[in-house]
Chain A
Amino acid sequence: MKQVKNNIRRVCIFLCILFVLLAVYGGYSITVNGNRWFSSGANTFVRSKKKDVIAGNILDRNGNFLAFNDVQTTAEGTKTTRLYHQDAAVRRAMVHVVGDREGNVNNGVESFMASSLYGFQMSLVERFSCFMRGVQRTGDNVHLTLDSRLCAMASGLFPQGKAGALVVMNYETGEMLAEISLPQYDPMNITWQAKSDPQKPFYNRAVQGLYAPGSTFKIITAASAFENYADAATRAWQCTGQLQVGDRFVTDAGTDLAAGKIVSHGQLTLQRAFQVSCNNTFAQIALSIGDQKLKKTAESFGFNDNFLFRDVVVENSAYPRENRTEREVAWTGVGQSTLTATPLHMCMVAAAVANDGVMMEPYTVMRTQAADGRQRTEAESRVYRTAMKPETAQVLKGYMRSVVQTGTGTAAQIAGVKVCGKTGSAEVDTQENTNAWFVGFLDEPAHPYAISVVVEDAGGGGSVAAPIARQVFQWMLNNGY
């Protein structure tokens, strides 16, 4: 009998654990995912409430109206039309961030911030007061951290007809100043062409586009070398132009084995290899560090993590876990293999180097305000994670500076300003040209901005993406940033 009662006590503990699991998971998932579920396109509740509430406005950091309402009072009653910025170029540049009336863009502010825009954040007192006064409720205004003029200007810098993305963020705070994706479309005039375009203009490449990071990933491979080798800075590497891994070769850009043309860098240090973006050296580094340690460094930069940022929904970046042959590991060190990352995430990687190894959480909503101007919420910057030691960041900063000074990224130079960066030319099997990458930042305490540029199917990062970064930084410096 006594034994049975002891067993019953254990049963009770087991059942209690089940209940605790329910409570903890229930509370956790609703706080973490609640807003993502709420803003889902499948939520008919929001749609049904849109009829009763006048949506709030969406403004950029300078107070320009990106989305607003045209309320017309006629004999039959009031009719509300959602309008977007009057300038078509601005409208098109901001469409992926803001969203449109039809909800074509995933997680645009129009849908992701629906709980603010449609007044779900209003208190009972406010709702009751509106009800008593007989006025239609107006949702909260959402102020973004983005600069719509910057976005529109940057959209014009891309080569005609090329798809791509660009992100600018403040690396000290994490606020995003620009987030654009090309091709774009006009939310005021959504055409049949836009819907059937094979380049998929509804797709927000800045946060949804999973690209091979190419040579920009060498920042992480180099960081891994520093975390794992005390003498990483002084060790000498030998580039023969063709590194045999298994029965295949890792080669550098310009090498054509069939034609007998081999580009080789000879003996070089890590800094020089980084400057000239030597695939051979970085493949050797990846092989000698090993897959597990490289993966650990990549994960400390946020690869394989489930990104749950407060108002930016980003696809997760992946460090490959399957089919890890020597050849794959070698190519991973160079940023190819099956590695994937979004332009925003690579911007965060550059930002972490600039910010002494600390990666800030990106955000786009600066504050929300009630219709009468009262402040509802105000964003504060949060640390996402510490990616590397400050000393490593310091050295990498120097490396990235030298890339722009004398390496592959000279096209990003601005006189009198310390521009740092890393180029990338990522190969994609289905494309004729490489994807052009540039990630970088201004090493100036007064101008703490990081950038990431991707131009699809366009050629070398140094010749296509770096000039775009230069022009964006130049514009920002000229316009008081």
Chain B
Amino acid sequence: MLKTLLSGDYPRSRPLAVVLVLMFLCLALGPFLFPGTRAFSTLGMICVFVIVVASYDLMLGYTHIVSFAHTMFFGIGAYGVAMTMEAMGKGFAPIFIGLGASLLVSLLLALLLGLLSLRVKAIFFALVTLAMAFAFLSLVTQLYHLTGGEDGLRVRVPRELGPAFKPFDGELRGFSITTFLGGLFTDPGNLGEVWRESVFKARITGRDLMYYITFFVTVGVFLFLLRLVNSPFGRVLQAIRENEFRAQALGYRTVFYRTAVVIISALLATLAGVLFALINRYVNPENTLNFELMVFILLMCVIGGMGTLYGAVVGAVLFLLAQNYLQDVLKWLGGGLEPGTLLAELVGPERWLLWFGLLFVLSVYFFPAGIVGQLRLWAGRSSSRKQDNGDDTTVTGEQESGNKGKDGPVVS
């Protein structure tokens, strides 16, 4: 059962598996474990960005196509649904019409991009997508009577997905992990009190429904992508990545495969954009189309581990937690420092991106396979050490490289 679900592509590292299961549980039970709107919106963003990053990984990690237009497709989805609802009013019909329309637009643009990549070579592609994404951003910003310009659009979701809607009257109990752990830390003697404090009343509203829709779509998309990359199609993609020329010589129409990847990835990003608009209920150029957002996606993908898909989950969770909470940590760290000094500036809460950028560059140099790739590498190493304990060391070396080959995603 699990094997079919995961398409036989297991985490292949015990720590990784534990982390992933924890993440899955936190996301699945999220509204009942983390009270507060900030936590709630972080959970939603994580789900959305898992789709965004995983679909980006399909291009970057599995096919080595560097595109800077991923946010463009994300934005098409977000604005597509926001604009249809602006024009047609509340209701479920506009959502589906918006979804369909933006998928269509994305399909056409992705096809155009795919065809353009026929004309130009890989490195050009990166630059051309960058320029196109910028043109799109400027168009959205300038056509303010349609898009609201810099101010963006408020998305009026149907009542059933809003906070005012209560599907049933009763109350559920939630258990705040953060409060519990915090209490455990500060007041370990008074466990009963801590326990009681941690329990909170959770009311199910339309927003929770929206969250669970997003969550299940995310799980579905993720499993679909796992299936895709482990199918014959995915094998061809990896062949193209390793040696496009040879893949061509074997008779694969690489152009078809590359275009297909660009299109699939674009459509999934569009879907994520639609979910984003509905769960965030507000879209503007900054939160959907900005170049900075594109860089963030790149960061999540690479730090998590290119070409592993699981890396998309790990990367998105880590990055969004950092984006939302690292500032607090830095504020706490810098609290003792004299304000105004260079050191205080360096660890200032608004400088969190500096540290993430540094982490990113270092990880490209030293852990090019990202967190997931590195964990798998260690797992492979320790298991092979266990197998031939005391044997000739060269054997271990060979097994290691064998494991590496099986992993595939190790970036050369």
Do A and B actually bind? no
Q: Show the binding face of B for A, using Cβ within 8 Å.
A: none
